[in-house]
Amino acid sequence: MSVAERLRECGHRVHIRDIDAKREALGRSLGFVVHPTAASLAADCSVIIVLVLDAAQVREVLYGGDGASSHEPSQGALLPVIGPEHRIIFCSTVSPQEASFACHLIVQQNAIALDAPVSGGPARAATGQISMMIAGPAASQASLAELLRVLSNKIFFISERYGDGARAKLVNNLLAAINLVGGAEAMALGEKLGLDPQTLLALIAESSGSSWMLAHRMPRALGMASGITAQTHVLTKDVKLANLMALEQGLSLPMGAVAAHQMQATCDEGWREADDSAVFHWYRKLFQTLNARFHMPT
């Protein structure tokens, strides 16, 4: 929704399709045109941004659910109704294979496609400060350059190969998860040692242990800020995809595996929909449990 708000603020007429009725109602209140299907939206829009959670939702947008396929799309899906006048920007974080698959389906309809995942969260999206990782033919990138500059002041043209945007995004989010989990572990240890967490955070922010994820997420974990930048299950999905991407290259990621495990544990403990800084609360709970076991009478 933040991307839509950014486009509206920059003078664009915005059309949306969302599976969440509450978000559709919010869109109407903001002056967006709400459509019942992706096909309906495509009838009125030549440029379409697909920004959904995962590969399953990307496929549902393209050709529908309930047994539909790219060869037999359902009514209301995007794929059967697009043509040379359409330009589709895929901004969701999915595997490189899924990104490439989606883009090639669009190209087969003689439309333009870009693999363009984003990073930065809703607040930065609303002000055009998200990072965008762009992959696709140079001509396709050039045809959408003006709109991309509206969406982002941090555009990185990765390559002309579909899937490289996804690859770059997953490498970034792998490191984001490692930094977040490492920061949460260190902060929870400091608290366990009796150190004041806010003082410790201020110290680390100006010292060698600092990272962007620590500085951005820990204030919420410590109650110094509110709101949700990214739900825990989203970064969990991404770091798992990064581990899988490495496995396909015959590689293992020791730190990536730990990050994925701890993020999943945070989801399993009830923080799935919470801000991903909740991994700090998971570590706090873990250390309390381990401490109780250590002092268990015999």
Do residues 50 and 113 both lie within one domain? yes
The token pair at 39 is 């096909």
As a whole number of angstroms, the distance between CA 18 and CA 37 comes to 9
Tell me the per-residue pLDDT of 228-252, one tens digit each, with 9 for 90 and over: 889 999 999 999 999 999 999 999 9
Residue 297 has pLDDT above 70, yes or no: no
Confidence of residue 1 (pLDDT cuts 50, 70, 90): confident
Lowest-confidence range among 74-78, 165-169, 285-289, 293-297? 293-297
Q: What is the DSSP letter of 275?
A: B
Q: Which of 162, 184, 213 is the last residue of a domain?
A: 162
| Residue 110 φ/ψ region, left for φ over 0, alpha for ψ in the -120 to 50 degree band, beta for the rest | left
Task: Tell me, yes or no, whether 119 and 18 share the same domain.
Answer: yes
Give the model's confidence band at 292: pLDDT under 50 very low, under 70 low, under 90 confident, else very high.
Answer: low
Last residue of a domain, one of 162, 177, 205: 162
Instruction: Please give the structure tokens belonging to residue 265.
Output: 């544990």
Tens of pLDDT, residue by residue over 99-158, are 999 999 999 999 999 999 999 888 889 999 999 999 999 999 999 999 999 999 999 999
Q: 174 and 218: one domain?
A: yes
Predicted local distance difference test score (pLDDT) of residue 123: 85
**Whether residue 139 sits in one domain with residue 41:** yes
Condensed to tens digits (0 to 9), the pLDDT of residues 38-92 reads 999 999 999 999 999 999 999 999 999 878 899 999 999 999 999 999 999 999 9
3-state secondary structure (DSSP) of residue 89: strand
Residues 230, 158 share a domain: no
- DSSP-based three-state secondary structure for 210: coil
181/84 same-domain check = no
The alpha carbon torsion through 108, 82, 121, 131 (nearest 10 deg) reads 50
Residues 138 and 280 in one domain: no
Tokens linked to 204: 């680390």
Q: Which residues pair with 73 in a beta bridge?
A: none
